[in-house]
């Protein structure tokens, strides 16, 4: 059942039916992906250092995404005068979730990477629903062959935390490590880390290392002073962009449902305008949205924010694609 329709004479309101992402078709056979966008759940949260629960993020985001599945022929934005996600004009599928093996980070991460590779092999944009931020590690790992063929990627991270810890007590694949692991990849040409604030697991040397390894680090207040246009100018134009969105980059007043909330975060339009600009500035080749933890999301507003951001981002990526 597609998101667009009255097929079969059904009204198919958002609260009716099976909660795939945007009520788009579920594709169980990962060797038969025929789509522009493939959504993959990564319900893994063993990488957390504070409150766990992001393993239920994919389900919460899928459920919330049904709110944006009204079958009115696409998503008309009157300000932009654009119909995003036009009926018949974009193919989005939901692959379900990567298999997670409790206590086994390496196997679980390998299973996530496998799913992302299947998306890339099929020519579909991977959109991964976390899970904690460690799931970005297998997502970036999965781009190795793709980058050998098509060139490097620049990573844009929206997050309260730098996530640039190298190793502590032997831990290298937790949710405080992913941007360090990304920066180590030869095919990651650089990182822009936006929204960074407050204390986190990354100590001062992590910030020094990040800058030495090619990161541009911006706090919420610095990003606001630059404005969207100034921010975009600092990101390479015309290149391949990978976007990793930690929901805690947003302010906890609008995104309380996360493991490590940090006050002083972004509001919706600050991020949407940046994402819209990125979709125009470069070629977005991969997306993950992480750290939605529904147990702390008593009104469901965090999951709705995540779904709304993703729906609007996907619509803009497809619309601005050359």
Q: Would you tell me how many other CB atoms lie within 10 Å of the CB of residue 97?
A: 20
Torsion from C-alpha of 149, 154, 158, 162, nearest 10 degrees:
110
Which of 94, 97, 146, 246 binds Mn ion (CB under 5 A)? It is 246
Nearer residue to Mn ion within complex by CB, 131 or 294: 131
Segment near Mn ion (CB under 5 A), from 47-55, 76-84, 106-114, 245-253?
A: 245-253
Residue 317, strand partner residues: none
Determine which residue in the list 159, 251, 276, 288 makes contact with Mn ion, applying CB under 5 A. Answer: 159
Least separation, in Å, of the C-beta of 127 and Mn ion?
17
Among 94, 146, 163, 251, binds Mn ion (CB under 5 A): 163
Size of the site for Mn ion (CB under 5 A): 5
User: Please, which residue, 135 or 311, has the CB nearer to Mn ion?
Assistant: 135
| Stretch near Mn ion under the rule CB under 5 A, chosen from 47-55, 60-68, 111-119, 243-251 | 243-251
Distance in Å, CB of 246 to Mn ion, minimum: 4
How many whole angstroms separate alpha carbon 181 and alpha carbon 86? 37
DSSP state of 301: H
Smaller CB separation from Mn ion, 12 or 258: 258
Contacts of 53 (CB under 8 A, 6+ apart): 45, 259, 293, 294, 295, 296
For the chain, the helix, strand and coil percentages under 3-state DSSP, each to the nearest 5: 40, 20, 45
Rank residues 82 and 254 by Cβ distance to Mn ion and give the closer one. Answer: 254
Which of 117, 133, 197, 281 forms a contact with Mn ion (CB under 5 A)? 133
| DSSP 8-state class, residue 25 | P
Question: CA-CA-CA-CA torsion for 271, 176, 161, 290, nearest 10 degrees?
Answer: 20
How far, in Å, CA of 98 to CA of 2, rounded?
23
Instruction: By CB under 5 A, tell whether 63 contacts Mn ion.
Output: no
Per CB under 5 A, the segment of 33-41, 86-94, 144-152, 244-252 that binds Mn ion is 244-252
Which residues are CB-neighbours of 177 under 8 A, at least 6 positions away?
47, 134, 137, 163, 164, 165, 166, 167, 171
Question: β-pairing, 37-42 with 92-97?
Answer: parallel
Residue closer to Mn ion, measured from CB, 14 or 257: 257
By beta-carbon proximity to Mn ion, the closer residue of 45 and 246 is 246
Span interacting with Mn ion, options 66-74, 93-101, 144-152, 238-246, rule CB under 5 A: 238-246
- Comparison of 93 and 305: residue with beta carbon closer to Mn ion: 305
Q: Least CB distance from residue 182 to Mn ion, whole Å? A: 12
Gyration radius of the chain over CA positions: 18
Binding site for Mn ion (CB under 5 A): 133, 159, 161, 163, 246
């Amino acid at each position: 059942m597609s998101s667009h329709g009255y097929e079969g004479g059904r009204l198919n309101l958002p609260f009716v039916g099976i909660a795939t992402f945007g009520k788009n078709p579920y594709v169980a056979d990962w060797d038969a992906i025929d789509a522009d966008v493939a959504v993959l759940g990564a319900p893994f949260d063993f990488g957390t250092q504070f409150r766990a629960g992001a393993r239920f993020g994919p389900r919460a985001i899928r459920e919330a995404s049904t709110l944006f599945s009204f079958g009115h022929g696409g998503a008309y934005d009157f300000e932009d005068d654009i119909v995003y996600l036009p009926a018949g004009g974009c193919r989005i599928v939901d692959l379900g979730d990567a298999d997670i093996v409790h206590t086994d980070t390496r196997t679980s991460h390998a299973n996530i990477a496998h799913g992302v590779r299947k998306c890339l092999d099929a020519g579909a944009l991977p959109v991964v629903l976390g899970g904690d931020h460690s799931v970005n590690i297998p997502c970036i790992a999965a781009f190795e062959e793709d980058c050998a063929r098509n060139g490097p990627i620049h990573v844009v991270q929206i997050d309260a935390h730098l996530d640039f810890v190298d190793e502590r007590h032997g831990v290298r694949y937790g949710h405080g490590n992913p941007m360090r692991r990304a920066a180590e990849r030869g095919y990651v040409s650089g990182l822009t880390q936006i929204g960074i604030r407050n204390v986190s697991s990354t100590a001062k040397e992590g910030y020094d290392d990040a800058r030495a390894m090619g990161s541009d680090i911006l706090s919420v207040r610095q990003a606001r002073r630059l404005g969207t246009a100034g921010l975009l100018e600092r990101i390479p134009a015309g290149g391949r962009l990978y976007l990793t969105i930690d929901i805690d980059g947003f302010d906890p007043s609008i995104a309380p449902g996360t493991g490590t909330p940090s006050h002083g975060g972004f509001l919706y339009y600050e991020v949407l305008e940046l994402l819209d600009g990125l979709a125009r500035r470069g070629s977005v080749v991969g997306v993950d949205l992480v750290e939605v933890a529904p147990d702390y999301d008593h009104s469901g507003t965090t999951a709705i924010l995540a779904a709304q951001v993703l729906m609007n981002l996907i619509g803009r990526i497809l619309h601005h694609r050359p």
